[in-house]
Chains A and B, each alone.
Chain A
């Protein structure tokens, strides 16, 4: 079976950023890169979009606020109004602390859940390409090879400074 991926492991972050930029300039799509820490500049070199998480975070936060204020108002004004020290039933300032806390809670948990869902992270998920040392000290660039293209890609990666290049069949 023809190799599906060509993997190049780099020793430094600047080398992988330069390599990714050059490959993209040649019109090659980068399947993914695996790095021990977030390499700044690599996202741009790979042409990644800005994350959409902030929108989810805002929406979850808003839902938390709505839940907290809605429930507090409903239970203290509509469902079972209780006269406590003659205070107004719908005195909103007293509802702010819990409103704030639930905003933060929903926003934080919702954003984490969104990240897990977007990237398919789960305890069952298998880990690919970690044998190249990408969790430890190597910066690994993975390209998808069309049939017959693999050896050319390998040569490209070597010339760009990858110290280990390997063709990997489909996983």
Chain B
């Protein structure tokens, strides 16, 4: 994989004719100098929203989840929608860090660090919701099979909800490990450039990384192994999340299409969120030479491709509801199309099916603010998709006597906002304290598509 072997006809991955020292300088500079006023403004806003969310979560734990708008028919609504939404967001990070690595997509080096960070924060946000939904979160450890005095009594290993516990916690742990391993060389560089306490702290965090070739030799194999493990893992996570619904007998949930449909939707929504974050970050953090328009173009193409798969899934779902001739299944889909909450379905169709089609045009993909608008629409659409599946399948079930509507309370809406507060607060702290771009990986692709390695590394 020598750089000179790559055709000079290709376009370089990094703009601005940088050399190695310049990359270190550029990426370390935002964490070594104080943040800009824009960072402070964003942090003030997001941490305020987080504080409001924290207050509302405390209230619903104190009072109980009766503070929500749930009723006897709609037992899952906002909370589980948010959970599925946030887990889905996380999937793009792993796709970038693991799957694109296995496919040798070397442009990923500029965005993988922050996309993985996004994964971790999104999974944290996701984890909050089932925890609150338990009603007694202080007993959350009951979900794990620990030796106890109740028999001992073990959890039901045949329940998809328990599979979820294992899937999400494994996903978080492995993603965090993968992220940390990628960070090691860069933490060492930050330590090397720093003095005093900061140097000591980062050196300890970097595990005494020294860039020894004997370590790199193992490290590269480890990175490949982690990518190979994370790839099926990420596919399994949303598959198992979809089992929460697919293994039930509820029309609208009970379908074998769910695992691939959920995984694809997760990647689609995740890429939209990566685009949202990266379009802001490349401007605010001054990383336009690293996260170039070509990166945005590539991510738009993935968004478009996964969006098309998602549209196929919508069509298949609709077709089989008709073709399957199950009156209950047919009714659920008629209810989505023509029922009292049909606006959700049509808004979703607009956001997920119509809006992404503009990404076919190169001119749109090269205009960050247009891509930004599309990415926001997709985020909204993907949240509504989960709400459609979860709440709208429930509110009119088998017995017309138990048909009800569902209205979220301000507590539910505030908690959703609070989770965004948590997400952005964590992401801003990450931008402030850790190198946002994988320095050692970008250095490895600097020579990409340049005539020789020599010209790049000459100081």
Q: In whole angstroms, what is the CA distance A53 to B230 when docked?
A: 16
Instruction: Decide: B213 and A76 in contact? CB cutoff 8 A.
Output: no
Q: Which A residue sits closest to B212, measured CB to CB?
A: A32
- State in angstroms the CA–CA spacing of A36 and B174 once bound together: 25
B173 proximal to A (CB < 8 A): yes
Residue in chain B with minimal CB distance to A20: B213
A93: nearest chain-B partner, CB-CB = B158
Tell whether B59 is near chain A: CB-to-CB under 8 Å.
no
Q: Smallest CB–CB gap between B442 and chain A, Å?
A: 9
Q: List 20 A-B contacts (CB under 8 A).
A: A11-B457, A34-B212, A34-B213, A36-B189, A38-B213, A51-B217, A51-B218, A51-B221, A53-B218, A53-B221, A75-B154, A80-B151, A97-B160, A100-B232, A101-B167, A104-B233, A119-B212, A121-B215, A127-B188, A135-B185
- Within 8 Å of chain A (Cβ to Cβ): is B429? no
Give the residues in chain B near A91, CB-CB below 8 Å.
158
Verify B154–A79 contact, CB threshold 8 A: yes
Q: Is A157 part of the binding interface, using a Cβ–Cβ cutoff of 8 Å?
A: no
Q: Which residues of A contact B (CB under 8 A)?
A: 11-14, 32-43, 46, 48, 50-51, 53-54, 57, 71-72, 75-76, 79-80, 82, 84, 87, 91, 94-95, 97-98, 100-102, 104-105, 107-109, 111-112, 115-116, 118-130, 134-137
| B4 proximity list for chain A (CB < 8 A) | 14
Query: B208, A105: Cβ atoms under 8 Å?
Result: no
Q: Is the CB of B20 within 8 A of A40?
A: no
Q: Chain A residues near B452: list those with CB within 8 A.
A: 14
A104 to B173, CA, bound (A): 10
Is B207 interfacial (CB 8 A cutoff)? yes
Across the two chains, which residue of chain B brings its CB closest to A46?
B213
Question: Is A119 in contact with B214, judged by CB distance below 8 angstroms?
Answer: yes
Docked complex Cα distance between A104 and B459 (Å): 43
Which residue in chain B gives the minimum CB-CB distance to A76? B157
Docked CA distance A126–B157 (Å): 46
The verdict on A37 contacting B457 (CB below 8 Å), with A76-B157, A135-B189 known, is: no
Among candidates B204, B215, B457, residue contacting A12 with C-beta atoms closer than 8 Å? B457
**Cα(A127)–Cα(B211), bound, Å:** 9
Which residue from B20, B229, B454 sits with its C-beta under 8 Å from A108? B229
Q: Which residues of A contact B454 (CB under 8 A)?
A: 12, 14
Measured in the bound complex, the distance between the Cα atoms of B169 and A102 in whole Å is 10
CB distance from B25 to the nearest CB of A (A): 9
Q: Pick the contact of A37 from B154, B185, B204 — CB < 8 Å?
A: B185
- Min Cβ gap A38→B in Å is 4
**Given contacts A32-B213, A43-B217, is CB(A127)–CB(B157) below 8 Å?**
no
Alpha-carbon distance between A53 and B220 when the two chains are bound, in angstroms: 10
A41-B2, A100-B236, A111-B225 known; A75 vs B157 contact (CB < 8 Å): yes
Task: Please state if A54 and B225 are interface contacts (CB–CB under 8 Å).
Answer: yes
User: Which interface residue of B24, B158, B229, B444 has the most chain A CB atoms within 10 A?
Assistant: B158
Docked-complex contact B208 and A76, CB < 8 angstroms: no
Q: Which residue of B lies closest to A116 (CB)?
A: B207
Determine if A80 and B174 form an interchain contact, defined as CB atoms under 8 angstroms apart.
no
Closest 4 CB pairs of A and B: A125-B208, A137-B20, A123-B204, A121-B207
**Do residues B154 and A80 form an inter-chain contact, with CB atoms below 8 A?**
yes
Inter-chain contact count A-B, CB under 8 Å?
204
User: Closest chain A residue to B164 by CB distance?
Assistant: A97
Q: Nearest residue in A to B163 (C-beta to C-beta)? A: A97
For residue B231, which residue of chain A has the nearest CB?
A104
Give complex CA distance A104, B168 in Å.
Answer: 12
Which residues from chain A contact B160 at a C-beta distance below 8 Å? 97
CA distance A111 to B162 in the complex (A): 26
Contact between chains at A127 and B203 (CB < 8 Å): yes
Given contacts A41-B2, A53-B221, A104-B233, contact A135 B177 (CB under 8 A): no
Cross-chain contact of B145 among A12, A71, A128 (Cβ < 8 A): A71
B209 adjacent to chain A (CB < 8 Å): yes
Contact B229 A37 (CB under 8 A): no
- Contacts A100-B236, A111-B226, A123-B204 given; does A54 touch B221 at CB 8 Å: yes
User: Could you tell me the distance between the alpha carbons of A80 and B4 in the complex, rounded to whole angstroms?
Assistant: 63
Complex CA gap A105/B226 in Å reads 10
Asked if residues B205 and A123 are in contact (CB atoms below 8 Å), the reply is yes
Q: Which of B1, B225, B240, B456 has the most CB of A within 10 A?
A: B225
Query: How distant is the Cα of A42 from the Cα of B214 in the complex, in angstroms?
Result: 10
Q: How far is the CA of A122 from the CA of B203 in the complex (A)?
A: 10
Cβ contact of B229, chosen from A80, A98, A104, cutoff 8 A:
A104
Interface string of B318-355 (1 = CB under 8 A from A): 00000000000000000000000000000000000000
Q: Which residues of B contact A32 (CB under 8 A)?
A: 212-214
B192→A136 contact, CB < 8 A: yes
Which residues of chain A have C-beta atoms less than 8 A from B205's C-beta?
A: 123
Say whether B1 contacts A40, CB under 8 Å.
Answer: yes
Give CA–CA (A95, B157) in the complex, Å.
Answer: 7
